[in-house]
Structure 1
Amino acid sequence: MTDPSAPWPTELRVAKDRKSLAIAFNSGEAHELSAEYLRVCSPSAEVKGHAPSQKKTVPGKRNVEIIKIEPVGNYAVRIHFDDMHNSGIYSWTYFLQLGRNPDDHWGVYLAELEAKGLSRDR
């Protein structure tokens, strides 16, 4: 059972250029998240691993696009990217985490790229 006071999405829209996803909630909160950000922060086992030591830094996704989104029950969506990644299940709670705390995700990602000598372009 879901918490009736939890924010609930009222809009989920892929931009015409497929480079971002806008999500709005019944609380009035709204976020626009880039496709690259969503892809490199995918909640999939492929990216997150099954333990923190298995987490992967995914380079070369600056130009990734969203092909489609599909509902998963009434709690999440699966995002299909043009690099054929589609195994991440993005819950409403996870969208809120990404939107509210970009430094906790994007900033860490950029630091990992630099530390590993990787690039957003390759």
Structure 2
Amino acid sequence: MTDTWPTELRVSKDRHTLTVTFSDDFAAEIPAETMRVLSPSAEVQGHGPGQKVTVPGKRNVGIKAVAPAGNYAVRVAFDDGHDSGIFTWSYLRELGEKGAEMFAEYERELAEKGLSRDGVIRTR
């Protein structure tokens, strides 16, 4: 991880994407769904090893608000009421660089648990 800082955070008009541009000109469009299901909050990550929650049904979640959290992060509020995730600059960078891989792992977890991005439990 480099010591770069975001120079711009922009929520799309449809509220489904956060675009982050860093001081080294790296830019990423991070889907709201990715941010919601991979939120760094204790509600999603748990309070210790093995407590991570696989959150289904967030395909159409939107970003309600983005607010500064000190000089190191932003708090993102989603339109489903979740607002406890503090996204550090380094975590936003990680989502920008590896978000597709992380989301693919999330989709594997959903499938293993019989869940879906639409929240419907699939029968096996």
Question: Are residues 1:19 and 2:21 paired?
Answer: no
1:6 match: 3
Aligned partners of 1:103, 1:29: CA distance in 2, in Å?
A: 16
Instruction: Give 1:99 deviation, angstroms.
Output: 1.0
1:88 match: 85
Instruction: Give 1:103 deviation, angstroms.
Output: 4.3
Q: 1:42-121 alignment to 2 at 5 Å?
A: 42-121=39-118
TM-score of the two chains, using structure 2 as the length reference: 0.92
Aligned residue pairs total: 118
Gaps of 5+ in 1: none
Question: Sequence identity of aligned pairs in percent?
Answer: 55
Q: Deviations over 1:39-61 (max 9, x none)?
A: 00000000001123100000000
Q: Which structure 1 residue ranges, 4+ long, deviate > 2 Å from structure 2?
A: none
Aligned partners of 2:48, 2:4: CA distance in 1, in Å?
A: 28
RMSD: 1.0
TM-score of the two chains, using structure 1 as the length reference: 0.93
Gaps of 5+ in 2: 120-124
3-state DSSP of counterpart to 2:33? helix
